[in-house]
Structures are given as C-alpha cells and as structure tokens.
Amino acid sequence: MTTAHQATEPALTALVEITVSFARRGWFPATSGNLSARVSAPGEPLLLVVSASGRDKEAMTAADFVLVNESLQPVEPGFQLVGSKAVPRPSSETVVHARIYQATGCGCVLHVHTVWNNLIADRFSSQGAVVLRDLEMIKGLDIWEEAAEIRVPVVENLFKLPALAEAVAERITDPRVPGILIRRHGLYVWGANPFQAKRHIEAFEFMFEYLLRMGGEG
C-alpha cells in the first residue's frame, strides 16, 4: 500500500470532522467554503482530497470529497484518471489550494467565508494587510515571541481563479503567517496537517473579531 493510500482515509475523517465543526459555527453559509488535505508524500506529485462543489456543508460526508491529481483531475482510489463514471465535481477553487500547497509545502488548506473576515479584509484592503500585534491568540499560530506582530496579507478578489491563485501565492512571503485574506471573499489558512490548520483558522477568526469589536486599527 502506498503512502498516499494510507493517508487518504485519515485525511477524509479529519476533514469531515472539521466541516461539521465549522458548519455549526456558520462559517460555510450558502455552500460556500472548501477544504482539502494533501495525501501524497513530500517530493511526490501533488495528490489531494478536496471538497466537492456546491455541497451543503452541514451534511457533508467522506463521499462529498474528491481525490484529485496534480493536474486537478479526479482520480480513482488507485490514482487512475476517472473515465466516464460520474463523480462529484471538485471545488472550483481547487486551483487556489494547489497553488498554496506548492508555495508552502503544507499538508492541509481550509477556506471559510465569515462576516468577520470579510469586514476586516475590507477595512484593511487599502493597507494591503491586517496587522495583528501583542495578542495572546497569536500563539495559536505557533508564534511565541513577546509582543509579537504579524501582517496578514489582503489580496483583491480576482474573478479568474488561476489569476487569484497566483496573486495569493505572490503574497505568501512570511512563513510565520499561515493565512491570507481575499477582499469581499474569505480567508485561506493552511497547516502541516488538518488539526494545525483548524487551530490556525480558529486563532485568526478570534483575532479578527476581537480587533473589529475593539474598533482598532491593529
């Protein structure tokens, strides 16, 4: 059994659990958002499990995720291209996920649309980044510096997804910051594994809401 085979089932289990958790918080309104996990080993061609397009996240199961190869084409569990057999369509934003994997080497990418991350991206769009400083929750990003300060990039919401994917990749410059905001769209976050990515997204959402409720500018 290949490493990818061994990694697929645990990845699906983790992604389904995260989907249920986030859906209960209202982070996937109107079937928005998407999730993926890398199941190929470092150095091997990219192989992902990614959420299917247009699914109600409150009712997602492992059957609502699709295995795709580095060309973002659906493949069978044996990693052969799917033929004429009907399969769920991968999220249209899979191209953005793939570019984040290439840019960071991470193991999981999560994307949510919330009121708080939309508001904060709009407020800070002219500055190009949201500044988070001296907040205890920054430790949730594995940053343990005293009075730490980070900048979460904000990029414009480009209609063509390949162009958006490139714009996202170009702004991933600080390895300490595992997230990026898309103006009037949502938040992409990544981690070495699903557990870490979930922790990162929870930390960001807490800090965004806090900063907006305080009425501060970072």
Structure tokens at 33: 């958002």
Residue 85 has pLDDT above 90, yes or no: no
Residue 58 has pLDDT above 70, yes or no: yes
Q: Which residues 6+ apart lie within 8 Å of 21 measured at CB?
A: 198
User: 87 pLDDT band (50/70/90 cuts)?
Assistant: confident
Q: In the prediction, which pLDDT does 6 show?
A: 79
Domain count, the chain: 1
Q: In the prediction, which pLDDT does 7 show?
A: 83
Say what the pTM is.
0.94
DSSP secondary structure, 67-94, as one string: EE-TTS-BB-TTSPBP-SS--PPBPTTH
Q: In the prediction, which pLDDT does 1 show?
A: 47
Asked which of 5-19, 178-192, 193-207 is least confident by mean pLDDT, the reply is: 5-19
For residue 43, with 0-12 CB atoms within 10 Å meaning exposed, 13-18 middle and 19 or more buried, which class applies?
Answer: exposed
Range of the structural domain that residue 198 is part of: 3-214
Q: In the prediction, which pLDDT does 79 show?
A: 59
CATH for 108: 3.40.225.10
More confident residue, 82 or 218: 82
Q: In the prediction, which pLDDT does 88 show?
A: 86
Q: In the prediction, which pLDDT does 218 show?
A: 47
**pLDDT digit string, tens, across residues 172-199:** 999 999 999 999 999 999 999 999 999 9
Give dist(CA 180, CA 120) in Å, integer.
12
DSSP secondary structure, 145-190, as one string: -TT-EEEEEEE---SSHHHHHHHHHHH---TT--EEEETTTEEEEE
Q: In the prediction, which pLDDT does 68 show?
A: 96
Residues 161-181: what's their mean pLDDT?
98
Residue 36 DSSP one-character state: E
Give dist(CA 136, CA 148) in Å, integer.
9
The average confidence (pLDDT) of the chain is 93
Q: In the prediction, which pLDDT does 164 show?
A: 98
> Taking Cα atoms as reference points, which of 128, 101, 103 lies closest to residue 182?
128
**pLDDT digit string, tens, across residues 99-156:** 999 999 999 999 999 999 999 999 999 999 999 999 999 999 999 999 999 999 999 9
Residue that is written with structure tokens 């980070």 in the block: 150
